Structure 1
Amino acid sequence: MILFLLFICLFSALLLGFPVAFTLAGISIIFGYFTFGTDIFYLLPLRIYGTMNNQILIAVPLFIYMGVMLEKSGIAQRLLQTMAILLGRFRGGIAISVAIVGAMLAASTGIVGATVVTMGLMSLPTMLNRGYKEEYATGIIAASGTLGQIIPPSIVLILMGNVMNVSIGDLFIAAVIPGVTLVFLYIVYVYVYARFNPDKVPHFSKEEIKEFKEGLSTKTLLNTFILPFLLIIAVLGSIFLGIASPTEAAGIGALCASILTLLEKKLTWKVIKEAAYESAHLSSMVFMILVGATAFGLVFRGLGGDDLLVHFIQEADLSPYSFLLIVMIGIFIAGFFIDFIEIIFIFIPVVTPIFIMYDMNLLWIGILISLNLQTSFLTPPFGFSLFYLKGVAPDTIRTSHIYKGILPYIGIQLFLIAVVVFFPSIVTWLPNFLND
C-alpha cells in the first residue's frame, strides 16, 4: 500500500505540472523519512555521491556541447541546402534530403531539440513555398529530427547504458543497423508517397537545378560533406575501433566541433558563451532529474518494491515475451505524457532486474526500449519534437497538421520495433562481429 501511495503521489504531482526533478526527490524523501526515519538523510548523500563519481556520465555534457557548437557553425544549414538541390530532380527530393541530413546531424550531435529547430527553420518554409502539403512537410522534419534518440552518439543510449549497467560502446554499435534501417524506411515512405501524390509533392525545375549547380564549386561541395563526416568518424570511429571510450570520444567530439566552427570563422566569444550556457542548462536539467531518480530508486528498493515486483511476475506466471510486451506498452503510453529522461530513470531501474531474472539479452532490450522511447518525442499530445517544430513553424501551420503528419512515422517505428523483437540478430550481430 505504501508503494502504491508513492506512485499515486508521484504521478499526480507530475500531471499537475510540478518540476520532475524536485518532485521525484521531494516525494521520495518524504516517504523515506516516514519509512526509515532520519537514516534517509545518511543513505541518500552516499547514493548521490556514487552517481557524481560516475565518469561515464561526463559524456553527457560533452556531447551536448558538441551538438550545440555544431549547430552554431552553420554546417548543418549548408548541408541541408546542398542536399536538397542535389536531390531536387526527384519528386520529394527536399523531404529525402531532410531525412538524410537528419541522420547525419543525429550521428554528429545527438541533440533532438537543436536538430528539429534547425531543420524546421531551414527547410519548412522552402517546402511550403514549393507547394508541399503541410502534413507531409512537418511529418518528415519532426521524425528526422528525433533520429538522434537512436543513432549514436545518443544521450538516450548513454543514460540507458548507465542505468542498465550495459556497455555504452556496445549499445552504440548495436544501434547502428536499427538506426540506418529507420532512416531507410523514412526515405521509402517519403518517396512512395511522392510518387502516388505528385500534386502534393512538387519538385525543382531543371532550370533551378542547373542554375544552382553552376554556382556550386567542387571545393564547396566537398567541404559541405567532408566536415560533418570527419566529425562522425572522429567520434564513432574512435569508439568502434576501441581507440577511445564513449567519454573520451565525447571529448574528441567537443574539440572537433569547436575546430569546425573555427574553420567556418564563426568561433567568436559570443558563440562560445552561448554554447557553454546552453550546454550547462541542458546538462543541469538531466543531472537534477538523475538525482531525483536516485532518491526514488533508494526508497523504492528500501520498501522492497523490486522484490514485490519480482514476486508479482512469478505469481502471474508471465512468459519473458509477455513481460516484455507489458513493459513496451507501458513505456509507449508513458511517452504520451512524460519525457524520455524521466522514463529511463523511473521505469528502467524497476524492470531491469526482471529482465535479468528471465536471462534476456540486455543489449537487445536496451535498443528495443530506446526505439520505443523515440516515440516519446513524436507521439501526440505531448511529443517534444512536435512542440519544437510548432515553435518555429509559420503561422499557417496548425498543430493538427503536425499531428497528422507524424502518424505514419509512428507506424514505421512500431513496425521496426516488431521486426527487432522477432529478429534480435539485427541488434546483436554487429557487436558480436566487432567483438570477435
Structure 2
Amino acid sequence: MSDPVIALCMLGIFLFIILLGFPVAFTLMAMGIMFGYYAYFDPGRMWRAYDRAVRADADQLTQIQLWIEGLFNNRIFDLFVNQTYSVMDNDVLTAVPLFLFMGYIVERANIVARLFHTLNIAARHIPGSMAVAALITCTLFATATGIVGAVVTLMGLLAFPAMLKARYNTSLASGVICAGGTLGILIPPSIMLIVYAAASGVSIVKLYAGALLPGLMLAGLYVIYVVGRSMLQPQLAPKPTRAEIGEFTVGQIVLRLLTSFFPLAFLILAVLGAILFGLATPSEAAAVGALGGLALTFLYRAFTWQRLRESVYLTLRTTAMVCWLFVGSWTFSSVFSYLGGEQIISEFVTSLDISPVTFLIMAQIIIFLLGWPLEWSEIIIIFVPIFLPLLPHFGIDPLFFGILVALNLQTSFLTPPMAMSAYYLKGIAPPHVQLNDIFKGNYPYLAMVLFAMVILYNFPGITFWLPDLIYGR
C-alpha cells in the first residue's frame, strides 16, 4: 500500500472515529502521532540504538533504557512538540481568549436584557416589532461574543418566552432566536475569522473588512423576512397592545437607548474600528474590548467576583479547546501532507477540469455536509486547509473563500437533524415547544443563507469593496 493511499485511509479512519463520539482534538493528536511514527520511521536508527544497548558494558536496566530511547527516537515527537509551541506562540490566536472574555463578561452583566427591552419599545410600531428587536439584539450580542451557544441560550431565556407570551407563532419566534444567534461567527470581531486567519495565513484585518458587509447583508435579509411575513400574516406576530408595551415618551426611549444600546454598540465599533483602521492589532483591540467589557459591568453595577470567576473559567476552557484543536490539526495535516494525501487530492480535483465556480460550489457542498456532524472550529482547522492549496489553481482569493465558508457555516447550526442552535434552544424552551417546531422555524433562514451565498457568488464586490477601500489592492 502506497503512502498516499495510507494518507487517505488515515483521513477515513479519523472521520469514522469522531462520528463514534471521541474527542476531536485528542483523536487528531493520537492519529497524527500514530501515522507519523510510520511516516518518519527509520529502522536503522532504532536498531543502531539497540546494538549500542546490547554492546554497552552496563547492567540490563541501562540496556533497556537505551533500547527504549531508540524506540522513541522518531521525528514525529519533535514535530508534535514544535507544533504545540508554534500554536501557543501564535500572535493571531492571542486575540481569541481576550474576545471570548469580553463576550462572557458582557453576557453576565445583564446588558442584553436591558438592550432587548429598549429595542422592543423603540420598534413597537414596526410589524413583528418584538422579533425585529430580538434579531437586532442577537446581532449585537452575537457580534460581542461570537459564541453561538451563549447567544441562543441567553436570548432563548430572555426574548423567546416574551414572544410566546405576546402570542407569536412558535416557529417564527424560534427561528428568530436560532438564526440571529449564529451571526456572531460571521460578523466581526468573529472568533471564527481569527481561527481561519491563523489556518490560512490571510490577514485578519482584511478578513474583518471583507466580512462586515456580507454579515450585515445577512442580518438585513433576516429583518426584511420577519417584517414582510408579519405584514402578510399578522396573526403570526400580533402587534403589541398599549397595555403590554407601556407608555413612553420619545425622550424616555432616547434615554434608554443611550444607557443600553449605545454603550455596547460603541464598545464593539471601537474595537472593530481600531482593527480596521490600523490603530491597534487584533490582540491589542481585543485587550481593550475585554477591559471595556469589565468597565460596562461596573457601569451597570453588575460586577461580582462570582461572575468574574465564571467568565475566566469559560474563557480558559474554550481557548484550551481551540488551541489543542490547532495542535492536533497541524500535527495531523503535517503527516497527511508528508504521506502525499494533499497531493493526491489536489491531482484528483485538478484532473476533473472543472471551472472555478464549479469548484466553489463543490467545496461549499462538502463544507455544508460536514457541518452536520462537526462544529465550525473542527471544519475550519481540519478540513478547510485541504482546500486552500487548490485555490491558486482556480484563481480564487482565499479571503473570498473564507467569507463564503463563514457564511456557509451558518447552515451547520440551522440544518436538521444536527442543527445545534435548535438543540440549544430546545434545552431551555418551555415543555410544550417541540423540536419539530424549532426545525420548521429554521427553514426560511436556511434558505436566506443560501440566497445570500448566491448573491455573494454573483457580486463578489460585496466582499472586496471595503478591504480595497481601506487597504487597496
Q: Please tell me the TM-score bracket, short chain as reference.
A: over 0.9
What are the Cα deviations for residues 34-64 of structure 1, in whole angstroms up to 9, with x where unaligned?
A: 2222221122212222222111101111111
How far does residue 367 in structure 1 lie from its aligned partner after superposition?
0.4
Structure 1 position 4 matched with structure 2 position 40: no
Hey, what's the Cα distance between the residues in 1 that align with 2:269 and 2:162? 31
How far does residue 88 in structure 1 lie from its aligned partner after superposition?
2.1
- Match runs of 1:55-204 below 5 Å: 55-204=91-240
1:161 match: secondary structure: helix
Q: Percent of aligned pairs with the same residue?
A: 40
Give the structure-2-normalised TM-score.
0.89
1:347 match: secondary structure: helix
Taking structure 1 as reference, are residues 95 and 218 closer, same or farther at Cα in structure 2, changes over 3 Å only?
closer
Query: Does the CA-based 8 Å contact 1:135-1:405 persist in structure 2?
Result: yes
How far does residue 348 in structure 1 lie from its aligned partner after superposition?
1.2
Query: Does the CA-based 8 Å contact 1:340-1:373 persist in structure 2?
Result: yes
Query: Does the CA-based 8 Å contact 2:79-2:331 persist in structure 1?
Result: no
Hey, what's the Cα distance between the residues in 2 that align with 1:196 and 1:214? 29
Name segments (4+ residues, structure 1) moved above 6 Å: none
Query: Does the CA-based 8 Å contact 1:194-1:200 persist in structure 2?
Result: yes
Match of 1:23 in 2: 27
Hey, what's the Cα distance between the residues in 1 that align with 2:326 and 2:398? 21
Q: Return the match for 1:361 from 392, 397, 404.
A: 397
Match of 1:276 in 2: 312
Match of 1:39 in 2: 75
Structure 1 position 267 matched with structure 2 position 271: no
Hey, what's the Cα distance between the residues in 1 that align with 2:325 and 2:137? 31
How far does residue 356 in structure 1 lie from its aligned partner after superposition?
2.2
Q: Return the match for 1:236 from 272, 275, 278.
A: 272
How far does residue 215 in structure 1 lie from its aligned partner after superposition?
11
Structure 1 position 388 matched with structure 2 position 392: no
Runs of 5+ consecutive residues of structure 2 not aligned to the other structure: 42-73
- Larger CA deviation: 209-218 vs 122-131: 209-218
Structure 1 position 398 matched with structure 2 position 402: no
Taking structure 1 as reference, are residues 211 and 20 closer, same or farther at Cα in structure 2, changes over 3 Å only?
same
Query: Does the CA-based 8 Å contact 1:89-1:205 persist in structure 2?
Result: no
- Larger CA deviation: 35-44 vs 393-402: 35-44
- Larger CA deviation: 129-138 vs 213-222: 213-222
**Rg (Cα) greater in structure:** 2
2:443 match: secondary structure: helix
What are the Cα deviations for residues 285-326 of structure 1, in whole angstroms up to 9, with x where unaligned?
A: 111211111111111111111221221122222222222111
1:211 match: secondary structure: coil
What are the Cα deviations for residues 191-210 of structure 1, in whole angstroms up to 9, with x where unaligned?
A: 11111211221111134444
Match of 2:289 in 1: 253
Structure 1 position 307 matched with structure 2 position 307: no
What are the Cα deviations for residues 158-204 of structure 1, in whole angstroms up to 9, with x where unaligned?
A: 11111111000111011111011111100111011111211221111
How far does residue 218 in structure 1 lie from its aligned partner after superposition?
4.8
Give the structure-1-normalised TM-score.
0.97
Letter in 2 for 1:31: F
Hey, what's the Cα distance between the residues in 1 that align with 2:355 and 2:84? 35
How far does residue 374 in structure 1 lie from its aligned partner after superposition?
1.8
Match of 1:425 in 2: 461
How far does residue 106 in structure 1 lie from its aligned partner after superposition?
2.6
Match of 1:295 in 2: 331
- Larger CA deviation: 29-38 vs 264-273: 29-38
Query: Does the CA-based 8 Å contact 2:367-2:408 persist in structure 1?
Result: yes
Runs of 5+ consecutive residues of structure 1 not aligned to the other structure: none
Match of 2:449 in 1: 413
- What root-mean-square deviation, in Å, do the aligned CA atoms of Structure 1 and Structure 2 show? 1.5
Hey, what's the Cα distance between the residues in 2 that align with 1:220 and 1:89? 17
How far does residue 125 in structure 1 lie from its aligned partner after superposition?
0.7
Letter in 1 for 2:95: A
2:247 match: secondary structure: helix
Hey, what's the Cα distance between the residues in 1 that align with 2:404 and 2:254? 41
Match of 1:329 in 2: 365
Match of 2:51 in 1: none
